[in-house]
Structure formats: C-alpha cells, structure tokens
Amino acid sequence: MFRHTARRLASLGVGLALIGGVAAGTALASASPASASTTTPAPATCPTTPGIPFSGALSGGTVKIGSGLSGSGLTGSACGLVDLASLTYGINASNFTFNPTSVSLFGLLNLPSTITVVGNATGSLSVAPATSGIAFNTTLPLTVKASVKLLGFTCSVGPFTPTFTTGTSGSLTGSPLAGSSLSTLSGKLVANAFTVPAIQPSATCPGLIASLSNAVIGLPEAAGKSSITSSATFSLQ
C-alpha cells in the first residue's frame, strides 16, 4: 500500500514538472474561459405544475473520486415536482445546482472543482418507519460531471451516475428524510455503488494531462471505490 501510494506521488511530481514546462501561453489559453469565473450559476425557474412543488438542499457533503481526490463541504440546491400518487419526484438538470468547491489531491494540493448535473432526474419515495412524525426513504439516480482545475488546465471526470439513497449503497448507509411535517424533512444521502470513467482529452485537457491525471488519481475506477455523502433537506411548497 505504501509503495503504491509512493509511486503515485512520484508520478504526481513528474507530472507537475511536465505541466509546469508547458508554454505559459498554452496554459492561459486552456484556462480561459473555463476558469474565468468561480460564481455559482443561477438555477432556472422552478416548475410549479403538474404536481406539488418542492425544494431541497445538500450540505456538509463529502466526495471521494478515484484513489487520489477527496473533498468536503459539498453544498447544493434543487427544486422540482412531486407526484404523490406514484410517490415519485422529478428534477430538471437546470434546477439542480452544486456550489463550486475544492478537492484535495492526496492531501497535498487543493484544486478548484465543480460538479454539474447533466441530465434530468427522477427519484422515488417510500414511507419509512418513524418513532414520531413522518419519514421517507428515497432513491435518486443523478448523472453528473466533475471538473477539476490544475495549473491552468480544466479536466472533466464523467459523466457518471451515482444513485443517491437514504438506504444502503455499497459500504455506506444513509438515513431517512424525517420530520414533524412535510414542510421540513431532513436526512442523509449516500452513493457508493457507481463506476467512474477515465478522464478523456478535450480542448481544455490535453491528452498528456488526461493520461497523467488518470494514472495519478486512479481512473477508471470500479463500483464501490468512489463515494459521495451529504446531509439533505426536502420541503414541499
């Protein structure tokens, strides 16, 4: 284990040297406009029909991607519509926003990062046992893409589809959305049973950088290795 990590750290050092040797003009070109703003885009107007409008929020989230990237403090918000007849709810991609954050590379470098929802999502609800008040379990497959910035380059991981649940996912277990009324329910969402693909070269992530990043981070990665957890609130409007 130690030798494996040491090899990755050595690869990181070599990679940073290679990246640092790239012409400044190329790095600056790669950084713009992708790294020009760190503000959170405003979500689209929330739908009001058909169904019952709801809002949700994520807070205190943690994320681990591959064997090298990890982060904490993940936050986000969402809104959509609930169908009480089928106990399902829908969220348009434009109505789900993760706030900009940062991830740590082997605990050595903090890298600006964003998670973007790239597809509409449909979740399910089921009544959960509760000692008082009400409680629901939920399952929500969510297709996302993570972007990480390093020395002027922006590389994207995904899309990949973690299934968030208040139940059990891989080695993690969440907790039901519970409260005294439907106006405020809170619980814990987890996702651990999803695969993560390799980073692909792009206009902002040259092939050398993509290959190096995959080798250092440990991508692609099988299900059960990466994880996302977050406290969550759910409120009918």
pLDDT (tens digit per residue) in 102-160: 999 988 889 999 999 999 999 999 999 988 899 999 999 999 999 999 878 999 999 99
Cα 88 vs. chain centroid, distance in angstroms? 22
Question: How far is the C-alpha of 20 from the C-alpha of 14, rounded, in Å?
Answer: 10
pTM: 0.83
Query: What share of the chain in percent tops pLDDT 70?
Result: 82
Confidence band (pLDDT; 50, 70, 90) for 44?
confident
How high is the pLDDT of residue 46?
A: 95
How high is the pLDDT of residue 43?
A: 63
**How many C-beta neighbours within 10 Å does residue 36 have?**
7
Question: How far is the C-alpha of 201 from the C-alpha of 223, rounded, in Å?
Answer: 23
pLDDT of 48-74, one tens digit each?
A: 989 999 999 999 999 999 989 999 999
Tell me the CA distances in angstroms from 23 to 60, 152, 174, one per residue in order. Answer: 38, 11, 47
